[in-house]
Amino acid sequence: KAGVTQTPRYLIKTRGQQVTLSCSPISGHRSVSWYQQTPGQGLQFLFEYFSETQRNKGNFPGRFSGRQFSNSRSEMNVSTLELGDSALYLCASSPKRGTSDTDTQYFGPGTRLTVL
């Protein structure tokens, strides 16, 4: 089974621009979570999508948004980029067999975003 894929792998943008990152989950997985990893703040949860609905959101400004499509693929968007948005953005998918249990998350290779 193919793992989680993320595109692009590397991205360079300038302040004020916007960016869209894509994540394709493992086949059959229905939940997608996004994380931001920086040297200063570590790994921080951005949001989670299940069946095209955002079910949970971390403590990030509204410039960070996402969506999930009917095939479970997900995108996240960052508008009006700031220097501090430079980070590794990781996507993870899980099966979500049932809502009463927490499934294991499997991560993609990440997108390295550099904001100049």
Partner 1 sequence: AQKVTQAQTEISVVEKEDVTLDCVYETRDTTYYLFWYKQPPSGELVFLIRRNSFDEQNEISGRYSWNFQKSTSSFNFTITASQVVDSAVYFCALSGPGGTSYGKLTFGQGTILTVHP
Residues that bind partner 1 (CB under 8 A): 31-33, 35, 42-45, 47-50, 55-56, 58, 88, 90, 92, 94, 99-102, 104-110, 112
Nearer to partner 1 (CB atom), residue 18 or residue 93: 93
Nearer to partner 1 (CB atom), residue 105 or residue 115: 105
Q: Supply φ then ψ for residue 11, to 5 degrees.
A: -150, 135
Smallest distance from partner 1 to CB 16, Å = 26
Nearer to partner 1 (CB atom), residue 14 or residue 41: 41
Smallest distance from partner 1 to CB 42, Å = 5
Question: Given the structure tokens 């009917």, which residue do they identify?
Answer: 70
Q: Which amino acid is at 61?
A: P
Smallest distance from partner 1 to CB 50, Å = 7
Buried-state track 8-27, b at ≥16 Cβ within 10 A, e below 16: eeeeebeeeeebebebbbbe
Smallest distance from partner 1 to CB 80, Å = 25
Other beta carbons within 10 Å of 69: 12
Nearer to partner 1 (CB atom), residue 75 or residue 106: 106
